[in-house]
């Protein structure tokens, strides 16, 4: 079995192999595009050459859409990449990067630029308050967002540092309309602008992911390869849909329609890790979300994930996450405000 479990005490749900799970590509696409993003801040930047801005490493994902003028982008220890009008990039792990009108321009930190606040978490950046958007200006829409998954979650960890969707506006006709709506929200100080921006940015980021997947990328491994392999995609989608399930290699092989050895070899070749390791990581990241965000008791999380004992669960959790679940829950409880009921309750 993949996880230490007390499954003998439970009735197992049948493995779905019918029409509903026939298209692994569609199922995996649902998993990928099911990633949610909460907005942190958004900005519309009008930059007059020469300019160069450094974006420090961040826990939040960042995206940039070039509306006018074009620019250059450089990740740490990588070559400069040209971005043209219509190009969009998503940096899912908030890697350090530089945007510049020319690679030779000295950089300034993004936080050093003068910002004109529009409303909560929305800002404008212009060279002068009354500057026109002339032909020598670059106009970009920038945002920082937080995924609903842990930054080390396998889905995010398998993404590259930068996902580029060239000429996104031309590939997806809905994008210009979204960007127009976002620009309206930036320029008009209206109630609820940040919430609307968050939902629009959510869709825009999903569009970047989809365009990047459809372009095929240059990566022949990881989840991109899984998208183009329906049988593996079906397996990954099932694991993510039911992280609590006590998945076994024979069950997963059955979803793929292959022998155990052929399945294990294909899965490891495509994802870069064994099915057991992948399932264990998904379980532990699910557990971390339950404990850190919902305050779930460690024993309850262990039971929901099918572990025989809290001790065996804690060992697996610490091995994968690097911290004991008890320490995580304790930190979470001390970090959040106590309710009046909790304040009165005995410790």
- Confidence at residue 262, expressed as pLDDT on a 0 to 100 scale: 94
**3-state class (DSSP) for residue 311:** helix
Look at residue 126 and give its three-state secondary structure: coil
Q: What was the pLDDT predicted at 124?
A: 79
pLDDT given for residue 138 in this prediction? 87
Element housing 55 (H / E) = strand 52-55
Query: Distance between CA 16 and CA 77 in Å, rounded?
Result: 45
Query: Which pLDDT score, from 0 to 100, does residue 74 have?
Result: 97
- H/E element, 9: none
d(CA 274, CA 266) in angstroms, rounded, equals: 9
Instruction: Give residue 29's pLDDT.
Output: 64
d(CA 254, CA 310): 30
What stretches of the chain show up as alpha helix (H) in DSSP? 24-33, 154-157, 168-171, 174-187, 193-214, 222-227, 230-241, 249-256, 260-271, 275-294, 298-304, 310-321, 325-335, 340-344
Q: What does the pLDDT read at residue 85?
A: 87
pLDDT in tens, the chain (347 residues): 444 433 332 333 444 433 334 454 565 566 666 667 766 788 888 898 999 999 999 888 898 988 888 999 999 999 999 999 888 888 988 999 999 999 999 999 988 888 887 776 777 787 655 555 555 688 888 888 887 776 667 677 767 888 887 666 677 777 777 777 877 776 666 777 777 777 787 777 777 777 766 665 545 556 666 666 778 878 888 888 888 899 999 999 999 999 999 999 999 988 888 999 999 999 998 899 899 878 899 999 999 998 989 999 999 999 999 999 999 888 877 765 544 434 444 44
Phi, psi of 15 (to 5 degrees): -75, 125
* Cα-based angle 270, 272, 278 (whole degrees, multiple of 5): 100
Round to whole Å and give the CA distance between 191 and 185: 10
Q: What are the percentages of helix, strand and coil residues in the chain, rounded to 5?
A: 45, 20, 35
Cβ proximity of 76 and 97 under 8 Å: yes
Among candidate residues 41, 89, 279, the one with its CA nearest the CA of residue 271: 279
Q: What is the pLDDT of residue 6?
A: 35
What is residue 187's predicted lDDT score, i.e. its pLDDT? 65
């Amino acid at each position: 079995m993949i996880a230490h479990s007390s499954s003998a005490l439970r009735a197992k749900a049948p493995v779905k192999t019918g029409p509903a799970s026939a298209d692994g590509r569609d199922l995996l696409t649902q998993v990928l595009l099911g990633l949610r993003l909460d907005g942190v801040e958004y900005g519309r930047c009008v930059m007059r050459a020469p300019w160069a801005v450094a974006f420090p490493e961040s826990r939040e994902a960042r995206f940039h859409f070039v509306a006018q003028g074009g620019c250059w982008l450089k990740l740490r220890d990588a070559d400069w990449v040209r971005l043209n009008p219509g190009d969009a990039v998503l940096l899912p792990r908030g890697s350090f990067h530089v945007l510049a009108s020319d690679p030779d321009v000295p950089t300034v930190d993004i936080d050093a630029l003068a910002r004109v606040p529009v409303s909560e978490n929305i800002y404008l950046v212009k060279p002068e308050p009354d500057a026109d958007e002339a032909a020598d200006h670059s106009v970009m829409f920038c945002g920082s967002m937080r995924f609903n998954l842990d930054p080390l979650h396998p889905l995010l960890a398998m993404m590259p540092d930068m996902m580029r969707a060239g000429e996104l506006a031309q590939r997806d006709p809905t994008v210009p309309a979204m960007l127009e709506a976002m620009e309206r929200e930036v320029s008009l100080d209206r109630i609820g602008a940040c919430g609307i921006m968050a939902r629009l940015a959510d869709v825009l980021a999903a569009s970047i992911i989809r365009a990047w997947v459809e372009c095929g990328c240059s990566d022949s491994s990881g989840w991109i390869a899984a998208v183009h392999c329906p049988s593996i995609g079906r397996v990954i989608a099932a694991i993510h849909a039911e992280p609590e399930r006590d998945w076994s290699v024979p069950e997963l092989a059955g979803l793929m329609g292959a022998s155990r050895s052929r399945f294990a070899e294909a899965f490891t070749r495509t994802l870069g890790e064994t099915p057991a390791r992948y399932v264990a990581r998904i379980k532990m990241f699910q557990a971390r979300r339950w404990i850190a965000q919902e305050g779930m008791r460690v024993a309850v999380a262990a039971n929901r994930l099918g572990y025989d004992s809290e001790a065996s669960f804690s060992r697996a959790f610490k091995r994968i996450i690097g911290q004991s679940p008890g320490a995580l829950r304790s930190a979470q409880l001390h970090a959040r405000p106590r309710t009046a009921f909790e304040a009165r309750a005995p410790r």
